[in-house]
Amino acid sequence: MLKRGGTIGILGGGQLGRMMAMSAAQLGYRCIAYAPEGDNVVSGVCEDLFVNKWDDKAALAAFAARCDVVTWEFENVPVATTRAMPEGRIFPHPRALETAQDRLNEKRFVEDLGGRPAAYMRVDSRADLEAAADRLGAPGILKTRRDGYDGKGQWRIGSDRDAQGLRLPDVPLIYEGFVEFEAEFSVILVRGRDGEIRFWDSARNTHEDGILTASTLPSGDLIEAQVGEARELARQVADALEYVGVLTLEFFATREGPIFNEMAPRVHNSGHWTIEGATTSQFENHIRAVAGLPLGETATLARTVTMTNIIGAGIKASQDHLKTPDTHLHDYGKARVREGRKMGHVTQLER
């Protein structure tokens, strides 16, 4: 168990790290962060920020020397960076990143546990893409196997002609068949060092252009009927990885049951509602887990909860939301406003 006043290192400089550090301070811990140069909003709530490249061995060693435990807030932190941290002091284990950073490996891993992803095929050439579109059908989604998020690194293939005409990036790809779904939802869990697992209620997620715009509770009868099966898969994933911390699996709710979409080995945007809407937030429970503390209760505290992302220039009018009762604003403090960038979020509760 990490003693009061200990130091938690965070790999990554974004808003998830910022909210982790705020929860850590509440529990009596210090945080320092490590990230390449950029709009590192974590700096406002950390005691120190190392601004260095991911492969700077000397800087990583100096960072690790100041940390009692280390975690990450961004799933695209290089695995080599996490492995530069002392064994037994980084949570989750780097194997979680190795699994989640490659969509092909991730899907095979989930299939081995009995999960059902969308039909997929590996794509390394134009011939592979045309074969995949022919076999799995179009429409479908072509994705980079690595580094994509918030709709980046994805192309909708509407027809065989699209597959023939698309200029392929020179990176490993995967083609996913189209899933006819009724809704999207997340299963978010926290697993402690002792293997205890707790789940939050699953919200219904709404996306626009590949970006999450809102998460709402209650999620509706269809999702609630499929959460049990989805949770069982998430539990198997967490146990197989000997995971410590918050883990998220995203699903499509279909007429045939839950279809696995992807996993995020970290706290997740669709769990932001837990800050005000649950007994213990995903951020606090992540810190509890990596610090070796007892996990907190995850019960939902309100009759309805709506978390809405503030994207791009919408942040300029964000304080207007505070005119609505039981509404909570989170401004991430990002200096650069651009289209499609998550600048903050608002959570509204009805008790």
Cα–Cα distance, 84 to 73 (Å, whole number): 16
7-90 and 183-350 have identical folds: no
Reply yes or no on domain 119-177 having CATH 3.30.1490.20.
yes
Reply yes or no on domain 183-350 having CATH 3.30.70.580.
no
Domains of the chain, by residue range, sit at 7-90, 119-177, 183-350
CB contact set of 41 (below 8 Å; sequence gap of 6+): 13, 14, 15, 18, 332, 333, 334
Divide the 351 residues of the chain into consecutive groups of 10 and give the mean pLDDT of each group: 98 98 98 97 97 98 98 96 97 97 97 97 91 90 82 77 73 94 98 98 95 97 98 98 98 98 97 98 99 98 98 95 97 94 98 95
Return the pLDDT at 161: 63
Reply yes or no on domain 7-90 having CATH 3.40.50.880.
no
User: What is this structure's pTM?
Assistant: 0.96
Whether the bond into 36 is cis, omega within 30 of 0:
no
